[in-house]
């Protein structure tokens, strides 16, 4: 489902002496449907960078990133938007939403975007929010005022609302209590069982060994300190 081939990434800092920083070289791996791959490596090894490149948030310097039949590295913006809407989900560590939108709508939005009718989308959103123990009294409020942990759970609910065939998870279990951690892990297992190809970053080692089928050490793609 996801196929990364010969991917490399550089940052050119034009305003700081045009420094060129090579952060990744010749990254190649594949993730099949129903498979979960965990990215490992020290902090700064490029786990998040790789994830962002697959999501189209960072521009690849060279190589291919096939998600389904779209090459994210060379696709037009609207193709990537379409991919993100229908195929590729992303649970980041930070919730970024428009102020004032109620939590229920924030979670239902990905479903509304793919044409699910309002009632069905709300039903799914309510189910996820209660599974993640967000008190019902908060559903009508904007998550911008919530605590960090609550925001993280709203973010997860939003990420799992639509059954994306490919899913990127950036520290989904970070800062969660035991109950909610368990819920998130079972959501991941459900998504795998549903055939989703998943790439995740988990600092939580027991969680990683429970859901991941394969671990990839990203430091293998880090350029030797020649630059």
Residue from the set 15, 43, 137, 225 that interacts with other proteins by CB under 8 A: 15
Q: Contact between 20 and other proteins (CB under 8 A)?
A: no
For other proteins, the closer of residues 11 and 219 by Cβ is: 11
CB closer to other proteins, 142 vs 175? 142
Of residues 183, 95, 172, 94, the one with CA closest to residue 133: 183
Give Rg (Cα) of the chain: 18
Q: Could you tell me whether strands 197-201 and 166-170 are parallel, antiparallel, or unpaired per DSSP bridges?
A: parallel
Neighbours of 174 (CB within 10 A): 17
DSSP conformation class of 224: P
Please report how close the Cβ of residue 177 comes to other proteins at its closest, in angstroms: 29
Helix (H, G, I), strand (E, B) or coil at 199: strand
φ/ψ of 29, rounded to 5, equals -170, 165
Q: Considering the complex, state which of residue 3 and residue 113 has its C-beta at the smaller distance from other proteins.
A: 113
Q: Which of 47, 52, 124, 153 binds other proteins (CB under 8 A)?
A: 52
Locate all alpha helices (DSSP H) within 29-70, ordered by sequence: 47-55
The DSSP bridge pattern shows strands 214-217 and 36-40 to be: parallel
To other proteins, the closest distance from the beta carbon of 70 in angstroms equals: 13
Task: Verify binding: residue 17, other proteins, rule CB under 8 A.
Answer: no
Q: Is 146 in the site for other proteins (CB under 8 A)?
A: no
**One character per residue 101-140, x = contact with other proteins (rule: CB under 8 A):** x----------xx---------------------------
Size of the site for other proteins (CB under 8 A): 20
Q: Which residue lies nearer to other proteins by CB, 57 or 93?
A: 57
- Site residues for other proteins, 61-100, by CB under 8 A, read 77-78, 80-81, 98-100
In the bound complex, what is the minimum distance in angstroms from residue 14's beta carbon to other proteins?
Answer: 3
- Distance between CA atoms of residues 211 and 85, nearest Å: 25
CB atoms within 10 A of CB 209: 11
d(CA 181, CA 121): 24
Which residues in this chain contact other proteins in the complex, by CB under 8 A? 11-15, 52, 56-59, 77-78, 80-81, 98-101, 112-113
């Amino acid at each position: 489902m996801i196929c990364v081939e010969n991917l490399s990434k550089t940052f050119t800092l034009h305003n700081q002496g045009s420094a060129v920083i090579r952060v990744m070289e010749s990254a190649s791996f594949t993730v099949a449907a129903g498979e979960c791959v965990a990215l490992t490596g020290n902090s700064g090894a490029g786990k998040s960078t790789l994830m962002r490149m697959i999501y189209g948030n960072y521009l690849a310097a060279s190589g291919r990133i096939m998600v389904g039949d779209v090459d994210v590295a060379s696709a037009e913006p609207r193709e990537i938007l379409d991919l993100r809407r229908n195929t590729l989900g992303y649970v980041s560590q930070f919730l970024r939403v428009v102020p004032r939108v109620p939590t229920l709508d924030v979670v239902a939005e990905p479903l509304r975007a793919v044409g699910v009718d309002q009632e069905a989308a709300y039903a799914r959103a309510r189910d996820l929010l209660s599974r993640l123990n967000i008190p019902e009294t908060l559903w009508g409020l904007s998550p911008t005022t919530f605590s960090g942990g609550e925001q993280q759970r709203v973010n997860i609910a939003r990420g799992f609302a639509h059954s994306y065939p490919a899913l990127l998870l950036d520290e989904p279990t970070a800062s969660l209590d035991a109950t909610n951690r368990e819920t998130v892990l079972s959501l991941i297992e459900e998504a795998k069982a549903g055939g989703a190809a998943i790439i995740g970053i988990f600092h939580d080692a027991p969680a990683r060994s429970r859901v991941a089928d394969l671990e990839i050490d990203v430091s293998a793609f880090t350029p030797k300190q020649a630059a």
